[in-house]
Structure 1
Amino acid sequence: MSKKSTRILIADEQHFSRLRIERWFNQLGYYRVAPVQNLEELLSLVEYGSEPIDLLVINAALGHGKLNLLDFCLDNRQLARVMIYDGQRAHLPVITGCAQQMVHVSHAVLPELPLIQRLMALVDPLRPSVGTVISVR
């Protein structure tokens, strides 16, 4: 069973993308999901939030030209784990080593259910596993 307290933040400019990703999480039993549509909303929630965010799912294009997304995610203690999707278009490198435990870069244009299931096996290990995860690329 998933932890009902798992806090998930979805950041994407496209309403349809946010809605679709949120529905995938809902199908897996996660309902504490907050969608944001721009970088300013994201920064406010992360900076002023009283509790850390368990998972940030963010479109790489959201920070493009405005923020070094990798550095922001790696250096922010409010973010327990991050998945950056559409990383290929933003020319983000694949991360290895210790940083890979916290930040995952996916080249998928939009994360689909199997990718989210594998990621949640890392974020919420108390939930029955859907398989062993080695990489979420």
Structure 2
Amino acid sequence: MANKSLRILIADAQHFNRLRIERLFNQLGYFRVAPVQSLDELLPLVEYGCTPLDLVLVNGAMANGVLELFNFLADNPQVHHGFIFNEQQAPLPPVSGKVQVSRAALPDLATITQLMSAVDHPLPFVGTVISVR
């Protein structure tokens, strides 16, 4: 069951792409999804947000040499997990537990499902255990 409190940010310049990715998350039960269309919108949300983001998905083409997305996401304490898609410019970096990179133009449902299996961990049980005999 999806943890409905997860905070997800999608960054892509194309409205259709943002909408398509958001709908994939909605199909899986995730509805706290915020779309942004530029690095100018992404950076303040990540850098100055009061609550860390559970997942940030970024179209690699948006960086266009201005920002090293992999290091930005990997080194940022406000980002728990990152996913860079459509990364055609640089060689794929080594696998990191925090940031994943894909050459695919857009993530599909299978990719999002696999990604969320790493991001959405069951919440720890808090309460009283009652033993039944």
TM-score where L is the length of structure 2 = 0.88
Rounded to whole Å, the distance in 1 between the matches of 2:69 and 2:53 is 16
Could you tell me how far 1:120 is from its partner in structure 2? 0.3
Q: Deviations over 1:47-93 (max 9, x none)?
A: 11100000001100111221111111111100000010012x12242
Q: What does residue 2 of structure 1 align with?
A: 2
Does structure 2 conserve the Cα–Cα contact (< 8 Å) formed by 1:95 and 1:103?
A: no
Aligned residue for 1:101, secondary structure, equals coil
Structure 2 runs not aligned, ≥5 long:
124-133
Provide the residue aligned with 2:80 in structure 1: 80
User: Residues 12-36 of structure 1: CA distance to partner in whole angstroms, max 9, x if unpaired?
Assistant: 0000000000000000000000000
Partner in structure 1 of residue 94 of structure 2: 95
Alpha-carbon separation, structure 1, partners of 2:46 and 2:36 = 11
1:1-80 equivalences in 2 (<5 Å): 1-80=1-80
Unaligned runs of 5+ residues in structure 1 are 128-137
Partner amino acid, structure 1, of 2:94? I
- The structure 2 residue matched to 1:117, chosen from 109, 113, 118, is 113
Per-residue deviation at 1:112? 0.4
CA separation in 2, counterparts of 1:102 and 1:9?
15
1:95, distance to aligned residue in structure 2 (A): 2.0
1:109-129 CA distance string (max 9 Å, x none): 1000000000000000329xx
- Matched residues in 1 for 2:94 and 2:13: separation? 24
Q: In the alignment, residue 107 of structure 1 is paired with which amino acid?
A: R
Identity of aligned residues (%): 52
- Paired residues in the alignment total 123
What's the C-alpha RMSD, in Å, of the aligned pairs?
1.3
Given that residues 95 and 105 in structure 1 are in contact (C-alpha distance below 8 angstroms), is that contact kept between their aligned partners in structure 2? no
